[in-house]
A = this chain, B = another copy of it.
Amino acid sequence: MRKILVTGFEPFGRDDENPTELLARDLDGMEFNEYVVVGRVLPVSVNRSGKVLEGLLNELKPAIAIHFGLAPGLSYISVERVAINLLDMRMPDNNGFKTEDYVIEKDAPLAYFSTLPTRKIVERLNQIGIPARLSYSAGTFLCNYILFKSLHHRAKYGYPKVSGFIHVPYLPRQVVKKHGIITRGVPSMCFENIKRAALVALETSVEWLNGGDGAEIDLFDNSKE
């Protein structure tokens, strides 16, 4: 069976859980037609996560890779369209590592565009009542790093043909104690909706790979750069 790699992250900093870790474990082994999901959890460490990702891509040669990460404060599913060749960390990762204005790959362009059917995914999520938006920055921390690495691998080796990153909100239970100074509270999304959103992203990607119109990939095919 062809492989879909789904990654989540372990908890970062003072958080004691991460909805994308739950997601990766939950989706592991699930089948979509002739595809099977391999769900894996990445460490929040620049040095280790890149190697783990590289190992997974080389081992699985997945047709599709969808990477998930938590975006604190977000209220909707955010489907990332752009990865930039830059690591710029305001806080150290879980390994205590921190760098500024660091070029991720010397022999790579400044940016890649995701090859997920991003607009279609957002449209379908909105149609079923799950708030979702396109996003043009995945930040300059681990999330952008993993997306850039995944797309750079694709540019060099041709797979994962479809690769992208999706940011999700906190779980409701994670914001119970987060009062902050903005007194209207920190948004969250229940796990049921986060999981439904992930399934829609997977299904839409499979459909698209199996004979969608191809418009999105062709428009910004990074291999042309």
A: residues with CB less than 8 A from B are 72-76, 81-82, 84, 86, 88, 90, 100-101, 103, 109-113, 119, 126, 129-137, 139-140, 171-173, 175-190, 192-193, 216, 219-220, 222, 225
Check B74–A185 contact: CB distance below 8 A: yes
CB closest chain-B residue, reference A100? B119
Point out the residues of chain B lying under 8 angstroms from A131, CB to CB. Answer: 172, 175-176, 185-186, 188
Given contacts A73-B182, A75-B185, A82-B111, 19 further A-B contacts (CB under 8 A): A73-B183, A75-B75, A75-B186, A75-B188, A82-B137, A90-B179, A109-B109, A110-B111, A110-B225, A129-B172, A130-B176, A131-B172, A131-B185, A172-B193, A178-B181, A182-B182, A184-B187, A185-B187, A190-B190
A111 to B173, CA, bound (A): 33
Check B75–A184 contact: CB distance below 8 A: yes
Check B130–A136 contact: CB distance below 8 A: no
Report the minimum CB–CB distance from A4 to chain B (whole Å).
25
Point out the residues of chain B lying under 8 angstroms from A135, CB to CB. Answer: 137
A225 to B134, CA, bound (A): 27
A49 to B192, CA, bound (A): 35
Q: Which of B133, B171, B222 contacts A110 (CB 8 A)?
A: B222
Check A180–B179 contact: CB distance below 8 A: no
Write 21 A-B pairs (CB below 8 A) sorted by A numbering: A73-B180, A73-B184, A75-B187, A76-B175, A76-B185, A81-B86, A82-B84, A82-B137, A90-B179, A103-B220, A109-B110, A109-B225, A110-B110, A110-B113, A126-B176, A129-B171, A131-B185, A132-B176, A136-B140, A178-B181, A184-B187
Point out the residues of chain B lying under 8 angstroms from A110, CB to CB. Answer: 82, 109-113, 220, 222, 225
A103 to B220, CA, bound (A): 8
